[in-house]
Amino acid sequence: MKILSGIQPSGQLHIGNYFGMMQTMIGHMEQSELYVFIVDLHALTSVRQRDKLAAGTLEAAADFLALGLDPDKCQFWVQSDVPEVCELTWILSTLAPMGLIERCHAFKDKVAKGLEASHGLFSYPVLMAADILLYQADRVPVGRDQKQHLEVARDLAQKFNHEYGETFVVPEPAISDSTAVVPGLDGQKMSKSYGNTIPIFVSGKDLKKRVMAIATDATPVDDPKNPDTCTLYNIFKLFASPARLQEVRDLYLHGGAAYGYIKLELVELIEDYFAEARRKKAQFQADPGMLREILHKGAQKARAKATVTLDLVRDRVGLKY
């Protein structure tokens, strides 16, 4: 079983990325053929500062490794180090119906948030399909926000197979329900581009500031509240033990849940949860040469797989003469 997923180096990785994707991927390392990559070409659709993109790429790599990804047990690389993906993107784009891509809501959402409506942003789902199909992935663990993009990848695989003969594996999305959408500080989806995140590696005062900023309503402490619609509770439940979560849930339901105290407890829980990873990240960041070496080796492994697929595709469509 080939499992693949990518993440954009467009800002500090946050707990939504962690629970929506990174944790799942790391968990698959032992049993599956795993493909994890940092999608810098996708990030170009929103990051225009050269240093931010380059540093963000290395930092995302340090994050994954610190959280436990073992590069010897998977393919771990930077998207642009395997240029074959761009050629496949073009080939797929000649098959991609305009209507299919126009229906993707991420483009409209991002433009509504102020991103420039570039052609790259529009065709983002085609590059993502190429990412997935190039490695013949069976399963793609992502947060719910990526479900529609997975459908585009499936549609393009099926269309290609129909037009040119069986070539691509049709990938399945893997969306875990418990963590499908981690809410941000404002209750919307937590996202680097919405400025509402709790970064994985923030700690001390900065962490406290973020957690204290989680939006809560004005219901008095002693009144019953609905935990399931409360942003604070939905973040708390990712970190609390089952027994503690049940206690807090009862306080919500029967009265007595004090948001301020729950926030302070959450700060401690997050500190502890990532303490070990925080130490490891500092070690990786102190050695960017080693990070680059790991990524370049990973790209070589990934590229060897990519060229096999691209060779077949070129032949299928008539680019081999």
Q: Interface residues with ligand ADP (CB under 6 A)?
A: 5, 7-8, 10, 16-17, 20-21, 142-143, 145-146, 179, 181-182, 189-193
What sign has the CA pseudo-torsion 254, 256, 262, 265?
negative
CA 211, CA 198: separation in Å to the nearest integer?
7
Nearer to ligand ADP, 5 or 89 (CB): 5
Residue 232, classified by CB atoms within 10 Å of its CB into exposed (0-12), middle (13-18) or buried (19+), is: buried
Name the binder of 45 from ligand TRP, ligand ADP, none, CB < 5-8 A by kind: none
CA 258, CA 244: separation in Å to the nearest integer?
15
Q: Hunting for tokens 């990325």 — which residue is that?
A: 17
Nearer to ligand ADP, 138 or 145 (CB): 145
Q: Taking CA 265 as the corner, what is the angle to CA 263 and CA 268, rounded to the nearest 5 degrees?
A: 115
Task: List b or e across 181-198, with b for residues whose CB sees 16 or more CB atoms inside 10 angstroms.
Answer: bbbbbebebbbbbeebbb
Member of 15, 22, 38, 39 binding ligand TRP (CB under 6 A): 39
Binding characters for ligand TRP, 76-115, by CB under 6 A (x = yes): ----------------------------------------
Least distance from ligand TRP to the Cβ atom of residue 86, Å: 13
Contacts of 290 (CB under 8 A, 6+ apart): 284
Q: Does 40 participate in binding ligand TRP (rule CB under 6 A)?
A: no
Least distance from ligand TRP to the Cβ atom of residue 132, Å: 5
Interface stretch with ligand TRP, choices 67-75, 125-133, 214-222, 263-271 (CB under 6 A)? 125-133
Least distance from ligand TRP to the Cβ atom of residue 41, Å: 9
Contacts of 120 (CB under 8 A, 6+ apart): 44, 45
Name the binder of 196 from ligand TRP, ligand ADP, none, CB < 5-8 A by kind: none
Nearer to ligand TRP, 39 or 214 (CB): 39
Least distance from ligand ADP to the Cβ atom of residue 194, Å: 8
Report the candidate in 182, 245, 173 with the shortest Cα–Cα distance to residue 20.
182
